Structure 1
Amino acid sequence: MVPAELLELPFHGTEAVAQGLLTPDQLRSSAWRRLFRDVYVHRDVPVTHELRAVTAASMVLPGAVVSGRSSAVLWGVDLAGTDHDVELTLPPGRHPVRTTGLRVRRAALADADVVRRRGVPATTPEATAIGLAARLDGDDAVVAVDRFLARGLVDLAPLRARAATGTGPGSARARAVCALADERSESPQETRLRLLVVRGGLSAPVPQFAVRVDGRFVARVDLAWPEHRVAVEYDGLWHAEPGQFARDRQRLNRLQAAGWRIVFVTAEDLDRPGELVARIARALTEAGRVHLPGSRERA
């Protein structure tokens, strides 16, 4: 019979055997999952990155601070899967540690940048966002910061101010990333689409723009050029749920009746950025040739 104290929480295998709770053969059975060296959990316990991060900081390297993508997960920003290495930070004086399943770095963290989260030390949302902006590559860094912003974990102005005063490795990248970040982007693909459009030479669109006619709400669109009444919607808005197609069609009809042109974008379109930017540019150009009633601008 499985001891009750081992059913819910991770435990050290050697301690469980020494206490007579399990035999070595029982520990090697399929009833237990190995999280890290000598750390196990019952097979019925869902193994998530959060569980692995909390376990690593409390049982594998006590005193380490959960940081990077792992800290993001603790704050509800899912940037790491179950199989990703847990990221921890140790003080500079601690010896390097090599443990399978862990990515350990040594750095001096300010006291104000560390709090307890899920029962273990973790970098604050602001420190985590800045660290990710400094270390992640390309659009991934902007996506990460946008997700912290969208969840209300950090504010853009203080984040940019902190990035502006940063020094050391990655500080220039962090400043560039924070300059591109936008709290209105609601998904990673919206962020990638916005960055793709700007890199393509088009003016920056307004994320999550509320379309109104005479003060009446019509719809919210993913990216918009309000002066042209052109919007980009990611993934076409079409869903398979019963009745969703009809609701999407009604929404599209309302937007078109308000004089808006909609460019639908799928995941495949992001793999052909040149074609996509050209299609959006054509929509903006064509809209500029048409006078829209009730508008002071050409759209």
Structure 2
Amino acid sequence: MAQARRQGLSRHDLNALVGSRTLVRVVPGVFTTLQLWTAAKPERKHALRSRAVLAHMENRADEPEGPALSHSSAAAVHGLPLLASPRRVHMMRTDGGPPRCRRGFILHQRLEGLRTEKVDGVMCVPPALAAVGVAQVHGLTAGVAALDAVLHQGVATKDEAWRWLRRLGGHRGVRAAEAAVEHSDGRAESPQESRARVLLEQLGYPVEPQPELMTPQGVFVARVDLRLKGGMVVVEVDGLSKYLDDDGKAAARTLRREKDREHAIRDLGYEIVRFDARSLGDVALVRRRIEAATGRARSR
């Protein structure tokens, strides 16, 4: 609002711009253009909303020590994936005050030994604690995706995640967070790959992430997203979206290389199953495809 006033825009002007879909109200008093908002990924949208709420809290007279973003809100600012859409902004106190819950945000009590850090000028809890918080709020799969990203990026270790978990004690969502840390693996290269790994293991198909496939002579052929343990089935996630250019058009040369790669994998005797974000939402379909591929591999 202050910036709008400096540009000569009144509250009435802003409401009119929102009504005409020129601006989007991120939170009360904070606006962005419809074009920027529409183009933003869910993580970016939540990061913008979280920044606005945190700035409001920092200006409150009854909050002398400003809080830090936490849980999924800190994860969004850290650039971690969010498989679930947060409904509220999560913050953690940096003083000894009590927790608070309002319609648009949750202010958590300070955790013992909390260290905060600034990310693009915004105070946040560390990445490992943020990822653990994602699991607390959004469950196992979302937590694994966030923790996989933390480990893959090398910004924290699994030991650090376990240390934060021990401090959480009996907090809500700790069991899901424990399971997420246990299942996390820094070899994962995308949140959908993490999602597929969790789902397949829940369905009873143990998998190995990012294995290298070799010829009997020890020559490298390919590295794949997932391989079913004890079988000749590999799983690739995200489909052709990996091979699209900025205009969404398949790059012919890249697609040709991928087809050659797929033939080389099949020549080793593997069956290939592909999933994208939509198909991973159909559990029965996932099971059918895996069972069919397993059957074909056994009949070879």
Deviation digits for residues 86-121 of structure 1, max 9, x if unmatched? 3223356268474x6x31223123454322222232
Residues 210, 224 of structure 2: 8 Å contact kept: yes
- 2:97 corresponds to 1:93: yes
Between the two proteins, the alignment pairs up a number of residues equal to 273
- Tell me if the contact between 1:49 and 1:80 (Cα under 8 Å) persists in the aligned partners: no
Structure 1 residue 177, shift from structure 2 partner: 1.7
Residue 114 of structure 1: aligned partner: 116
Are 1:200 and 1:274, in contact at CA under 8 Å, matched by a contact in 2?
no
1:11-30 equivalent positions in 2, closer than 5 A: 11=2, 16=5, 26=13, 28-30=15-17
Give 1:186 deviation, angstroms.
Answer: 2.0
Residue 55 (structure 2) aligns with? 58
**1:64, 1:89 within 8 Å by CA — same for their partners in 2?**
yes
Correspondence for 2:250? 241
Q: Please name the residue that 1:5 is paired with.
A: none
The 3 A distance-change label for structure 1 pair 237 and 34 is closer
SS at match of 1:211: strand
Compute the TM-score of the two structures, normalised by the length of structure 2: 0.74
1:145 counterpart residue number = 147
How far apart in 2 are the matches of 1:44 and 1:220? Answer: 41
Aligned-partner Cα distance in 1 for 2:114–2:165: 16
Among the aligned pairs, what percent are the same residue? 25
* Aligned with 1:67 (options 70, 74, 95): 70
Report deviation, 1:195. 1.8
Which one-letter code corresponds to 2:250 in the other structure?
E
TM-superposed deviation, 1:44: 8.6
CA RMSD of aligned residues (A): 3.5
1:173 aligns with 2:176: yes
Q: CA deviation at 1:156?
A: 2.3
What is the match of residue 280 of structure 2?
A: 270
Runs (5+) with no aligned partner, structure 2:
38-44, 60-65, 244-248
State which drifts further: 237-246 or 176-185.
Answer: 237-246
User: What pairs with 1:147-162 in structure 2 (closer than 5 Å)?
Assistant: 147-160=149-162, 162=164
Moved more, 89-98 or 70-79: 89-98
State the alpha-carbon separation in 1 of the partners of residues 210 and 10 from structure 2: 58
1:208 is aligned to 210
When the two structures are superposed, what TM-score results if normalisation uses the length of structure 1? Answer: 0.74
How far apart are the structure 1 equivalents of 2:227 and 2:83? 31
Counting helix residues as a fraction of each chain, which structure ranks higher?
2
- In structure 2, the CA distance between the partners of 1:283 and 1:69, relative to structure 1 (3 Å rule), is same
For structure 1, the 5+ residue unaligned runs are 1-9, 291-299
Separation in structure 1 between the aligned mates of residue 250 and residue 219 of structure 2, nearest angstrom? 27
Post-superposition offset of 1:246: 2.4
CA separation of 1:285 and 1:181: change in aligned 2, threshold 3 A: same
- Give the Cα separation in 2 of the matches to 1:262 and 1:149: 27
- Deviation larger for 281-290 or 102-111: 281-290
Query: What is the identity, as a one-letter code, of the residue corresponding to 1:149?
Result: L
Matches of 2:224 and 2:92, distance apart in 1: 40
Q: 1:183 to 1:22 in 2, by over 3 A?
A: same
Q: In the alignment, what sits opposite 1:131?
A: 133
Partner residue in 1 for 2:260: 250
Q: Structure 1 pair 255/29, CA: closer, same or farther in 2 (3 Å)?
A: same
1:219 aligns with 2:222: yes
- Give the number of the structure whose alpha-carbon radius of gyration is greater: 1
